[in-house]
Chain A
């Protein structure tokens, strides 16, 4: 599985949304993406990529796009 697929899977599992909606997912637009959804989403991504989000990254993580940037900062190629 490619890294981008792994990231999309995390969104599907963590936020319970269909894969087609993942690319446009934002915190405001996805019902389950509240502070609780955020925590499980972060935990799933951390496990999938073997990384650890810094607290300010958790704050900045408000969209799928932001998630991609965070992974890039951790030197994960997408």
Chain B
């Protein structure tokens, strides 16, 4: 299985690289910029698991860069079996304190960049007549919260996009699903103060934040043939709420 993972250098994306590589998958690990640490980690992970992992660098706000990055993957000439759209940004802010331009920027990364990647990759998958696309939604796109207008709406859009695409691409043998994580311990969530983190944990039935690998394992399941009849679903992974 050959897999594209965006936002692969930290947080949930990093756990995805580890989980998919451990299952024997080859990976195009997409990130914004090259660093020696990232590349050496990719090399070690590839060697340990006997797979190849190729870094692909592009900035998600730059349409041409996305195009060039995905084209370089297509030019590898390998089958693209799975696309995990994981890169994303989060903000918190009441509308009265938010600039619409900033909300646009957030949508550019969380929604439009994802669409651009899918538009290009799904053409390749439709040629192959198979493929799996996994998008990162969020509980924030399901449960309304003050301050989450931008992030929550962008993730709601991602999840509706997922359902529509499942219908459009299903006939071509492409499954499209989304994962809606609850609060997961990553840098994204550490923008909050400790009291907020405690509150977030207490809102879950399991009374704790999620771990990155708990999301990665669900992505691996959705990517696998174990999930061959799951299409157009939003899988909540939030410890119970």
A12 CB within 8 Å of chain B: no
CB distance from A26 to the nearest CB of B (A): 21
Q: CB distance B171 to A46 under 8 Å?
A: no
A42 CB within 8 Å of chain B: yes
| A-B CB contacts (within 8 Å), total count | 18
Q: CB distance B172 to A47 under 8 Å?
A: no
B127 CB within 8 Å of chain A: yes
Q: Summarize B's interface: helix, strand, loop or mixed.
A: helix
* B residues in contact with A46, CB < 8 Å: 123
A44 CB within 8 Å of chain B: yes
Chain A: residues with Cβ within 8 Å of the partner, total of 9
B124 CB within 8 Å of chain A: yes
Please encode chain B, from 123 to 155, with 1 for each CB lying within 8 Å of some chain A CB and 0 for all others: 110110100000000000000000000000000
Bound-state CA distance A62–B126 (Å) is 19
Chain B: residues with Cβ within 8 Å of the partner, total of 8
* B residues in contact with A35, CB < 8 Å: 168
Q: CB distance A43 to B171 under 8 Å?
A: no
Q: CB distance A42 to B171 under 8 Å?
A: no
CB distance from B129 to the nearest CB of A (A): 8
Q: Summarize A's interface: helix, strand, loop or mixed.
A: helix
Bound-state CA distance A5–B110 (Å) is 42
Closest residue of A by beta carbon distance from B128? A43
A4 CB within 8 Å of chain B: no
A66 CB within 8 Å of chain B: no
Within 8 A of B (CB), among A10-48: 35-36, 39-40, 42-44, 46-47
Q: CB distance B172 to A42 under 8 Å?
A: no
Bound-state CA distance A62–B129 (Å) is 22
Q: CB distance B127 to A40 under 8 Å?
A: yes
CB distance from B145 to the nearest CB of A (A): 35
* A residues in contact with B168, CB < 8 Å: 35
* A residues in contact with B171, CB < 8 Å: 36
* A residues in contact with B124, CB < 8 Å: 43
* B residues in contact with A43, CB < 8 Å: 123-124, 126-127
Bound-state CA distance A42–B126 (Å) is 10
Give me the 9 closest cross-chain CB pairs, A-B, nearest first.
A43-B127, A43-B123, A36-B171, A39-B126, A43-B126, A40-B126, A36-B172, A40-B127, A39-B172
18 contacts between A and B (CB under 8 A): A35-B168, A36-B171, A36-B172, A39-B123, A39-B126, A39-B172, A40-B126, A40-B127, A40-B129, A40-B172, A42-B123, A43-B123, A43-B124, A43-B126, A43-B127, A44-B127, A46-B123, A47-B127
Where the two chains meet, the residues of A that have a C-beta atom closer than 8 Å to any C-beta of B are 35-36, 39-40, 42-44, 46-47
Where the two chains meet, the residues of B that have a C-beta atom closer than 8 Å to any C-beta of A are 123-124, 126-127, 129, 168, 171-172
